[in-house]
Amino acid sequence: MIEIDGSYGEGGGQILRTSLSLAAITGHAIRIAGIRAGRPKPGLAPQHLTSVRAAARICQAQLRGDALGSMMLEFIPSSSVQAGNYTFDVKEAQPMGSAGAVTLILQTILLPLALATGDSQITLRGGTHVSFSPTIFYIQQVYLPMLQRMGIDAKIKLGAWGWHPQGGGEVKLLVSGGSQIEGINLLQRGDLQRVRGLAVVTELPAHIPQRMANRAENLLTAAGLKAAVQTLRETGVAAGAGIFLTAEYKNSLAGFGGLGRLRLTAEKVADMACEQLLKFHQTGAPVDEHLGDQLLLPAALASQESQYRVAEVSTHLTTNAAVIEQFGLARVTVDEGEKIVAVVPGSG
């Protein structure tokens, strides 16, 4: 049984998700202690517990410690990963309802299902666009297209928007099994082709997305970047607002966003997204901070070496690298000066 320290590094949920993915793929039993010890509310939150149960379901794992707030988990797979039709709802972990991010569940089970024999269809219910996690828009516009370059074929469709704190969103994920994962080399991003975006609200007036879009286009144009932001007004279980921007470079993609909340103007929400994008653009790096962390796992499972340059070496990235090395699948080296990540599979 592989013993994993959940308090290591940034001490968050990424340790749990990577460990679950790799346990399902390799069949290794794991024990994680100190889960999310670095967070204000440590232990398993609803989205983490749902991720645990989702990973367990696809490989028939035996569980110990699968409860809200638990800081210890044993996960013992009893079969190889089984493709199929699955539904995972955060509400089952938190009956009062939760905006726990479905994207975190998606990232836990996607690679195991992509490597399994046969195709899978997964319905995920909970939060689709919430803070401190990738939004569905980021998954759709950046994460999945970059994985596709590595040989992973997955598509996602948003059925209902789920904002904090109500949740209630739904997405459908289609994963083609039998993937042959290839390495990725991203040291140069090339010229910026365009910035495209979406300003959206549910159960709010149409002038709000228009103001977000206008503000973003004006700010980015003033900075010399070509930008086009669409507006969308949708129905939903609750009011919500957000703007999501994708920077398309010749060789790479990067995504940024701002989420509305009470007493935050539409213009301020757009400012938040634009500030992130402009800051990233100035780095010259091909890979944004979040994608840098998220590419590690597919790179570790690839048949060739990968090398990519990140805008920032985050503790998420270095923590994730340490967890991957514990499974002996790959050697990860991070050049902090050049901000280059190198992943050599099969040499952990």
- Give the pLDDT score at 39: 85
Separation of CA 243 from chain center: 17
Residues 176 and 195 in one domain: no
CATH assignment of the domain containing 118: 3.65.10.20
Residues 83 and 175 in one domain: yes
Residues 245 and 265 in one domain: yes
What are the tens digits of pLDDT across the range 325-339? 999 999 999 999 999
Has 316 been annotated as catalytic? Answer: yes
pLDDT < 70: residue spans in the chain: 347-348
Last residue of a domain, one of 252, 283, 314: 283
Last residue of a domain, one of 141, 161, 180: 180
- Give the pLDDT score at 347: 59
Put residue 50 in one of left, alpha, beta given phi > 0 → left and psi -120 to 50 → alpha: alpha
Residues 213 and 195 in one domain: yes
Say whether 293 counts as a known binding-site residue: yes
Domain presence at residue 315: no
Residue of 48, 129, 281, 316 marked active site: 316
Say whether 144 counts as a known binding-site residue: no
Domain presence at residue 307: no
Residues 197 and 50 in one domain: no
Domain presence at residue 342: no
Q: Of all helices (H) and strands (E), which one includes residue 15?
A: helix 13-26
Domain of 249 in residue numbering reads as: 188-283
Work out the angle between the directed axes of helices 46-59 and 13-26 (0-180°, nearest 10): 0
Q: Where in the chain does DSSP place strands (E)?
A: 2-5, 30-33, 62-64, 72-76, 85-89, 120-126, 154-160, 169-175, 185-186, 192-202, 227-234, 240-249, 253-259, 306-309, 330-335, 340-345
Instruction: State the amino acid at position 237 in one-letter form.
Output: V
Residues 18 and 68 in one domain: yes
Say whether 291 counts as a known binding-site residue: yes
Last residue of a domain, one of 180, 203, 224: 180
Residues 158 and 17 in one domain: yes
Say whether 106 counts as a known binding-site residue: no
Residues 25 and 70 in one domain: yes
**Secondary structure (H, E, C), 278-331:** HHHHHHCCCECHHHHHHCHHHHHCCCCCEEEEECCCCHHHHHHHHHHHHCCCEE
- Cβ neighbors of 223 (< 8 A, separation 6 or more) are 278, 281
Q: Is the pTM of this model over 0.85?
A: yes
